[in-house]
Amino acid sequence: MNKISISSLNSDFNKIESFVEEVCDKLNLHEKFHGNILIAITEVINYVESYNQAGELSFHSSPEEVIFDYKIKSKSASLNNVLNPDFNVVDIFSEGGKGIFMIMSLCDDMRYDYENNILSIVFKIRNIGNVITDHRKQYLKNYLGKTVGKLR
């Protein structure tokens, strides 16, 4: 499944959570990334929903990154007037500012395609193997430490 339709965060949260879990499993993403992705996507949908916009969530990936796109269904509705074109300048006290700040804190990049009405969040996964390797090393170190301690 590469995309899902979303009518509201409250009614579709389980569907969103399952979708993110499937993507993370498919791409073998560490659980640390799963949490960041789920929270960022939830914030995107919550932010867009505050302007009464249903949408469609999809993903695509490359060896470098995984991108989640939230396409706003309504052709007449747009976030042009809502989003600051420069996401790096976020006023957290403006309406929706805290959500944008949180999204930017959790993902590596955020883009808005004005022409197609798509809000995208990007997660870099190039060095994800290092994270998994470090986790496995620590797990093995902890295991060996306990085993050696028992042998003494």
Confidence of residue 128 (pLDDT cuts 50, 70, 90): low
User: Could you read off the pLDDT of 32-83 as tens digits, one per residue?
Assistant: 788 889 999 988 888 777 666 678 999 999 988 999 999 887 655 555 555 5
User: Could you read off the pLDDT of 88-117 as tens digits, one per residue?
Assistant: 444 444 555 567 778 877 888 888 888 888
Average model confidence (pLDDT) across the chain: 76
The per-residue pLDDT for 92 is 46
The secondary structure of 43-91 as a DSSP string is HHHHHHHTTT--EEEEEEE-SSEEEEEEEE--SS--STTTS-S-TTS--
User: Domains (ranges, CATH) in the chain?
Assistant: 3-126 (3.30.565.10)
Question: What backbone torsions phi and psi does residue 127 show, to the nearest 5 degrees?
Answer: -100, 20
The pTM assigned to this predicted structure is: 0.72
